[in-house]
Structure 1
Amino acid sequence: MGGIDKSDMLVHLYKTPMRARRYYMRLFGYILDLCICNSWIWCKRNCSAMKSAPMSLKDFCLDIYKGAISYKKVTPKVTRTSLARVVVPLPKRGQRAEVPSVEKRQDATALHLPHHVTMRQTCKYCSHKGAIHRSRWMCEVCKVSLCLSDVRNCYADFHKNL
């Protein structure tokens, strides 16, 4: 049997199960199987040179698939959001957030930094029954939502000396 016929036979023995309507996905699967078969032939040749028992093609394919499945990244990707991630518990819907006392608001030892949250919460400083303002900024120490924009800066007003 020639080289191409043997290669086709080995590739189709243990084909990667990949069904796709796009032709290039099937082509990718075929190239992947072809690379695995070529590396198995190379490994088999090296095993005979080292006088050890060669692995079967099926076991070789299974080892490669298991290695690909169990691959995990060693280090996670570091982004700006992951560096400054602070856990701020959000109040449940319908639950009122407690406004801290004046002493806690003006405590200089704690860093009252704004923290961006995904869900908008009602501003505890400027909202009232007639006009409700929602904000995505929350104080890390006080655990209350406050407006922080160019129009309204309730964050500074809330933490000012009274």
Structure 2
Amino acid sequence: MKTDEDRCREYGVPYDPTITRPAVYQQSGWKCHLCGKRVRKSLKYPHPRSASLDHIVPLSWRKDSPGHVWGNVALAHLRCNQSKGARFAGSTKPAPRKPGIVTPLWKLRLTLFAGTAALFYFNAEPTVLTIAAVLCILSVVPQRKVRRRRRRAWWKL
């Protein structure tokens, strides 16, 4: 399992070695900063209500994250921290990501359209042109998204 220092090195963000989990937990008064409820000291990992160290602005945001510094760490329940994920505390939107300019689907579409144009230019058989045109149309028709069911965690069973 990676330490906070390893994660900071991986994401290229600052790391303050003076920050320890007991110090953060004591500073926050054993109260979860996400839900506001008390965190019991006696509960240990992997209990969902056990204490965990939360980075308010996630380390994975790289340049937008202040890093592992005193203003960016807080105590949270393990369940609260995991449900927050790589989002800003209080935000429902995921971390900002730059979309790729040319996705594999668009590469396929460009290839299909270019191939169809070449077939038309070189006077291909009508059946071949029809098949190529149908493939082009089918590549643009939106696909229905399949909703995946989330598995319930072992502590909710």
TM-score by length of 2: 0.25
* Larger RCO, structure (CA 8 Å, separation 6 or more): 2
Larger Rg: 1
TM-score by length of 1: 0.25
